[in-house]
C-alpha cells in the first residue's frame, strides 16, 4: 500500500477507530519484538550466526537485519536476559516492562536478586527502572572532560539545559551513553591521558560540553540551588556564579589586585609618602602577622616555614599562575594545576621567603628539582 492509499484509508476512519488501530499496531510490534528475542536465543544457542558467516550475534543483527549498534546491543542483552530469567520474559509478555527496560536490568540480574528486581521493575517507567538499576551498580568512572562542541547559536536558541527534569535525570539513555563513552575513549587516547582541559584553545563564542560525575550530596545541593535561584537560571548560570564567588575569595591575582588597591588608597590618604612600589609588595604587613598569630615570618625572630599569603599571591601573580620550570631549550611547563611554591635556595639551607627566592612549580617539577638538588650535593 502506498502512502497515498494509506492516507485515503485512514481518512475514512473515525477518531475511535484510529486509536484502536494504533493500539493494535503497538501490541503487534511488542509481540513481534518478543518473537525476535526468542529467535535470537535460538540463533545464539545453535551458533547459527557462525554457520551463516557472521562473526558474532552483534555482527548478525547489524549486517543481516541492519539494526543500529545500540539497537543490536539492546536486543542481544534482552534476549540473553529472557533466556536466563523466565520471570522477565513473563513480565515482557504481560507488557509490564519494555524491551529497553529489559536490556537495562540485564546487567544487574543474578539468581539471588532476580525475584526482587522483577518485582521492583514491574510496571515502572524507564526512568524509574534506571534509578533501580543505579542502586545495584558501582558507578562507572567518568572521565572529566571539557570539549568544544560548536559556536554559540546567534539566534539564541532555547537551551534545553534549563529543563529541570533534564538536569536531574539520573542517567543518560543507553544510546547517549554509548556515543559518549566512544568519544571519551577516543579523546583519552588522543590526549595521551592528560586532562583535556590543558589542551583547549580559548575561543570566545564557542560552546563547550563539560562532563564529570558527582555525589548524591552534590546533586542535592544543585537541586537546592536550582530551587533558590530564579527559574531562568540554568546549570551554567548556577555553577558560573558559584565559581565566580570562589575565585573572588581564593584567586591570588584578585586578592593581590585588591591589596594593591587598598594600599594605593591608604597612600593617597596619607599624602607625602612615596607611591606604591610593586617591589614592596613582597614585604609582609603587620596585618599578615596579625592574621597568623604564633607563625613568624622571615622578619620575625625565630624562622618559620610559613610563607605569608601576601608573598604567595605576589609570586603567583608574577609567575602567571603557571609552573615556571623551563627546559634547556627554553620550553616552559604549561601546568596550571597542582602548583606548589618552591624556594630556589632551599629553606633548610637558609633560603629566605622572598619574591626573588620563591617560584611556582608543578608537583612533578618540584620533585624533579629536589632530586637534582640532592644529586648535585652528593
Ligand atoms: Zn611543571
Establish if 300 belongs to a structural domain.
no
Establish if 234 belongs to a structural domain.
no
pLDDT of res. 72: 96
User: How many angstroms does the Cα of residue 362 sit away from the middle of ligand 1?
Assistant: 4
CATH number of the domain within which 328 lies: 1.10.30
Ion ligand 1 nearby residues (CB, 5 A): 323, 325, 333, 335, 362, 365
Residues 24 and 108 in one domain: yes
Tens-place pLDDT, residues 136-188: 888 878 888 888 888 888 776 555 444 444 444 443 333 333 323 333 333 43
The answer to whether the Cα torsion of 243, 248, 250, 252 is positive or negative is positive
Residues 120 and 193 in one domain: no
Which residues touch 264 (CB under 8 Å, ≥6 apart)?
A: 276
User: How many angstroms does the Cα of residue 198 sit away from the middle of ligand 1?
Assistant: 13
User: How many angstroms does the Cα of residue 339 sit away from the middle of ligand 1?
Assistant: 8
Least confident of 68-82, 146-160, 323-337, 353-367: 146-160
User: How many angstroms does the Cα of residue 375 sit away from the middle of ligand 1?
Assistant: 19
Q: To 10 degrees, what angle do helices 252-269 and 309-318 make?
A: 110
User: How many angstroms does the Cα of residue 366 sit away from the middle of ligand 1?
Assistant: 8
Tell me the C-alpha to C-alpha distance, in Å, between residue 15 and each of 4, 10, 18, 20: 19, 10, 5, 9
User: How many angstroms does the Cα of residue 309 sit away from the middle of ligand 1?
Assistant: 22
Using 50, 70 and 90 to split pLDDT, how confident is the model at 246?
very high
Helix (H) or strand (E) holding 165: helix 164-167
Residues 122 and 170 in one domain: no
Establish if 44 belongs to a structural domain.
yes
Establish if 228 belongs to a structural domain.
no
User: How many angstroms does the Cα of residue 370 sit away from the middle of ligand 1?
Assistant: 13
Q: DSSP state, 302? A: S
User: How many angstroms does the Cα of residue 313 sit away from the middle of ligand 1?
Assistant: 18
Instruction: Decide if 231 contacts 176 (C-beta within 8 A).
Output: no
Establish if 244 belongs to a structural domain.
no
Establish if 241 belongs to a structural domain.
no
Q: Where are the alpha helices (DSSP H) in 46-139?
A: 48-51, 57-59, 69-84, 86-93, 99-105, 114-121, 126-134
User: How many angstroms does the Cα of residue 235 sit away from the middle of ligand 1?
Assistant: 33
User: How many angstroms does the Cα of residue 341 sit away from the middle of ligand 1?
Assistant: 12
The answer to whether the Cα torsion of 13, 15, 18, 23 is positive or negative is negative
Tell me the C-alpha to C-alpha distance, in Å, between residue 52 and each of 38, 40, 47, 60, 63: 18, 14, 9, 9, 12
The answer to whether the Cα torsion of 108, 109, 113, 117 is positive or negative is positive
Residues 368 and 259 in one domain: yes
User: How many angstroms does the Cα of residue 95 sit away from the middle of ligand 1?
Assistant: 59
The greatest distance separating any two alpha carbons of the chain, rounded to the nearest whole angstrom, comes to 100
Q: Which residue has the higher pLDDT, 297 or 128?
A: 128
pLDDT of res. 318: 92
pLDDT of res. 303: 77
User: How many angstroms does the Cα of residue 145 sit away from the middle of ligand 1?
Assistant: 21
User: How many angstroms does the Cα of residue 363 sit away from the middle of ligand 1?
Assistant: 7
Beta bridge partners of 150: 207
User: How many angstroms does the Cα of residue 376 sit away from the middle of ligand 1?
Assistant: 20
Tens-place pLDDT, residues 99-140: 999 999 999 999 999 999 999 999 999 999 999 999 988 887
Establish if 23 belongs to a structural domain.
yes
- Number of Cβ within 10 Å of residue 37's Cβ equals 21
Establish if 152 belongs to a structural domain.
no
Residues 78 and 184 in one domain: no
pLDDT of res. 270: 85
Q: How far apart are CA 333 and CA 362, in angstroms?
A: 8
Instruction: Decide if 270 contacts 277 (C-beta within 8 A).
Output: no
User: How many angstroms does the Cα of residue 44 sit away from the middle of ligand 1?
Assistant: 54
* Per-residue buried b or exposed e for 136-149, using 16+ beta carbons within 10 Å of the residue's own CB: eeeeeeebebeeee
Instruction: Decide if 134 contacts 171 (C-beta within 8 A).
Output: yes
Q: Which residue is listed with cell 588608597?
A: 265
Tens-place pLDDT, residues 182-240: 333 334 334 434 444 444 555 668 899 999 989 889 988 998 888 777 777 888 999 99
Residue 277, SS3 per DSSP: coil
Residues 111 and 184 in one domain: no
Q: Which residue has the higher pLDDT, 40 or 313?
A: 40
The domain in which residue 336 lies consists of 253-290+306-376
Q: How far apart are CA 190 and CA 213, in angstroms?
A: 21
Closest CA to 91 of 116, 129, 136, 123: 123
Q: Which residue has the higher pLDDT, 377 or 314?
A: 314
User: How many angstroms does the Cα of residue 285 sit away from the middle of ligand 1?
Assistant: 31
Per-chain mean pLDDT for the chain: 80
pLDDT of res. 104: 94
Domain count, the chain: 3
Residues 117 and 169 in one domain: no
pLDDT of res. 202: 58
User: How many angstroms does the Cα of residue 343 sit away from the middle of ligand 1?
Assistant: 15
What's the full length of the chain, in residues? Answer: 378
User: How many angstroms does the Cα of residue 240 sit away from the middle of ligand 1?
Assistant: 28
User: How many angstroms does the Cα of residue 144 sit away from the middle of ligand 1?
Assistant: 21
Instruction: Decide if 137 contacts 108 (C-beta within 8 A).
Output: yes
3-state helix, strand, coil in the chain (%, to 5): 55, 5, 35
The long-range contacts involving 343-347, CB below 8 angstroms and separated by at least 24 positions, are 346/373, 347/305
Amino acid at each position: 500500500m502506498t502512502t497515498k492509499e494509506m492516507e485515503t484509508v485512514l481518512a475514512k476512519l473515525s477518531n475511535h477507530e484510529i486509536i484502536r488501530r494504533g493500539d493494535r499496531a503497538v501490541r503487534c510490534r511488542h509481540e513481534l519484538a518478543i518473537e525476535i528475542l526468542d529467535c535470537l536465543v535460538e540463533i545464539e544457542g545453535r551458533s547459527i550466526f557462525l554457520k551463516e558467516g557472521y562473526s558474532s550475534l552483534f555482527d548478525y543483527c547489524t549486517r543481516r537485519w541492519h539494526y543500529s549498534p545500540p539497537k543490536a546491543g539492546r536486543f542481544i542483552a534482552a534476549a540473553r536476559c529472557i533466556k536466563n530469567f523466565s520471570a522477565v520474559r513473563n513480565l515482557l509478555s504481560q507488557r509490564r516492562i519494555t524491551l529497553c527496560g529489559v536490556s537495562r536490568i540485564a546487567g544487574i540480574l543474578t539468581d539471588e536478586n532476580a525475584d526482587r528486581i522483577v518485582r521492583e521493575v514491574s510496571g515502572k517507567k524507564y526512568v524509574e527502572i534506571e534509578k533501580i538499576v543505579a542502586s545495584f551498580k558501582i558507578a562507572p568512572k567518568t572521565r572529566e572532560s571539557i570539549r568544544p562542541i560548536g559556536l554559540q547559536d546567534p539566534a539564541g536558541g532555547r537551551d534545553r539545559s534549563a529543563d529541570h527534569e533534564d538536569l536531574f535525570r539520573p542517567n543518560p539513555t543507553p544510546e547517549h551513553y554509548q556515543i559518549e563513552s566512544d568519544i571519551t575513549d577516543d579523546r583519552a587516547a588522543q590526549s595521551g591521558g592528560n586532562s583535556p582541559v590543558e589542551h583547549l584553545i580559548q575561543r570566545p563564542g564557542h560552546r563547550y560540553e563539560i562532563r564529570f560525575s558527582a555525589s548524591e550530596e552534590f546533586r542535592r545541593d544543585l537541586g537546592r540551588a536550582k530551587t533558590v535561584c530564579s527559574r531562568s537560571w540554568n546549570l551554567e548560570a548556577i555553577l558560573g556564579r558559584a565559581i565566580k564567588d570562589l575565585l573572588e575569595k581564593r584567586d591570588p591575582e584578585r586578592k593581590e589586585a585588591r591589596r594593591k588597591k587598598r594600599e594605593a588608597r591608604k597612600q593617597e590618604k596619607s599624602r607625602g609618602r612615596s607611591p606604591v612600589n610593586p617591589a614592596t609588595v613582597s614585604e609582609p604587613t603587620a596585618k599578615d602577622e596579625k592574621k597568623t598569630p604564633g607563625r613568624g615570618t622571615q622578619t620575625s625572630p625565630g624562622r618559620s616555614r610559613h610563607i605569608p599569603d601576601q608573598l604567595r599571591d605576589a609570586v603567583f601573580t608574577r609567575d602567571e599562575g603557571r609552573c615556571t620550570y623551563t627546559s634547556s631549550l627554553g620550553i616552559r611547563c604549561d601546568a596550571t594545576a597542582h602548583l606548589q611554591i618552591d624556594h630556589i635556595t632551599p629553606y633548610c639551607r637558609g633560603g629566605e621567603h622572598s619574591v626573588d627566592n620563591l617560584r611556582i612549580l608543578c608537583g612533578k617539577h618540584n620533585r624533579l628539582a629536589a632530586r637534582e638538588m640532592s644529586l648535585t650535593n652528593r
